[in-house]
Amino acid sequence: MAALLVSTACTNIPTEVPNDPYRDILISMVPETPSPPPFPTLQWSYKDGKYCIGESDADRLLDYGEKGSALVTHELEQYQRKMLLILEALKQKP
Do residues 58 and 94 make contact, with C-beta atoms less than 8 angstroms apart? no
| C-beta of residue 44 within 8 angstroms of C-beta of residue 58 | no
E strands, 1-94, are 44-47, 50-53
Give the global pTM.
0.50
Element holding 60 (H helix, E strand)? helix 55-67
Angstrom distances, CA of residue 31 to CA of 17, 36, 73, 82? 27, 15, 17, 13
What is the tens place of the pLDDT at every residue in 10-60? Answer: 555 555 555 778 888 888 888 888 877 788 899 999 999 999 999 999 999
